[in-house]
Amino acid sequence: MEHASPHPLTWGGAGESPRQPRDPGLGEGDKEPRAEAAGEACVSVAARSPVAASLRVFRTKVTDARHPSRFLPSPCRVLVLLNPRGGTGKALQLFRNRVQPMLQEAGVSFTLRLTERRNHARELVREEDLSSWDALVVMSGDGLMHEVVNGLMERPDWETAIQKPLCSLPAGSGNALAASVNHYAGNEQVTNEDLLTNCTLLLCRRGLSPMNLLSLHTASGSRLFSVLSLGWGFVADVDVESEKYRCLGKIRFTLGTFLRLAALRTYQGTLSYLPAGAPSSKISAGSPLGHDQPGPVDSLLVPLEQPVPENWTVVPEHEFVLVLALLHSHLGSEMYAAPMAQGTGGIIHLFYLRAGVPRSMLLRLFMAMEKGTHMDLDCPNLVYVPAVAFRLEPHDTRGMLTVDGEQLASEAVQGQVHPEGFQLEAERIRTQPVTAYDDNSTLVENK
């Protein structure tokens, strides 16, 4: 988890009055950062600027039916939640030097708040008056977006709160969600400042796209939501064990991969899933999961102490190297793990790697993942299946479990995907049909 600065910060941006009220989160000894008045530049974009050129291209593209019809208002107001210690610790500098000028030029007014501890963003959005903002902008890694979404889902008004548009600006180590959004927009795979620039441009363009949301239930009784992935085994071990190398940025994952390859191990467990498009099966009598908790009802799931429904598939093997349930195309800024993913349509991209894979093949798989060609290696141990729900039951506590890069206790967990669960600042240029399924795993449409 990325930690934050010692003090919260509220900073008014383009288009806001310099006479903003003092942030109650600031102590008596803290100084309120000066709001920047941008004048006319806040309202209209300079005709010859790079942002203006990008917006003209977007307006031309938007006539194509492949693009979303939902947009933020213009001008708009956003709340930026930034973790100053995420990734290599340069997020605030990057915001001031790269993001802020683009927002000012595009007429996006902002207030900036720095998180100061684990789950601070979760607490903030749980109590925030969301009517003050047209969107919430999250500048950090994937863990901060995980906090924000779960904070929204914990509100009494979760059903409307989760529809508040969100934006991911990459400033962490993995930046998988931002890389996926960049990919959906038809941009080439880039990292670091280039990825940040592309994602900021998407915010300036104001286009919105619905995204899948994964609802999860654990054996200990907790419910949480994922915007990106659930990992168990090798991939989770690398994520958690490389935390000590956070100062290296995205290179930490490469180092962690080699270290875990040198001490390769397997994990015992049972994996079950409901394939996308499988015939519906009537769930036994009783209240559906999630009926007594904030969030949508998970009509495809039964309690963990019960066997999975008859229309589910139970993987016969019980020894794995890894299990990965992925909602989006990327697992990192340079890990194109699910080339078939579009982030919508109610699909979980479920990968599992059975025990017995040679280290040399595992290394080839991870190297090929940068270009998304790992499936072309035809590794007999690697299995991919599109699903709408799954259950993972570790047989012991040996392996690590992560959700959106955040470590959880190694215990039984199951999940169901909900299409159009939240809105993200994104453009979508489809290169292949997206197959959508409803909550009964029934084909809705190819769109």
Cα 348 to Cα 202: distance, rounded to the nearest angstrom? 25
* Residues linked to residue 332 through DSSP beta bridges, in sequence order: 335
Helix ranges (H only) for 346-413 are 359-368
The b/e string for 354-367 (b: 16+ C-beta within 10 A; e otherwise) is bbebeeebbeebbe
CA distances from 258 to 360, 363, 367, 400 (A): 11, 8, 11, 17
Element (DSSP H or E) covering residue 167: strand 166-170
In the DSSP assignment, the letter for residue 37 is P
Q: CB of 350 within 8 A of CB of 325?
A: yes
Which tokens sit at 434?
Answer: 């997206």
Q: Would you call 239 a catalytic residue per the annotation?
A: no
Backbone torsions φ then ψ of 349, nearest 5 degrees: -90, 105
Run of H or E including 122: helix 120-127
- Is the Cβ–Cβ distance between 113 and 80 less than 8 Å? yes
Residue in 134, 142, 237, 439 annotated catalytic:
142
Q: At what angle do helices 176-184 and 192-205 cross, to 10 degrees?
A: 60
**Helix (H), strand (E) at residue 231:** strand 229-233
Tell which residue, 220, 324, 235, 234, has the closest CA to residue 271.
324
Catalytic residues: 142
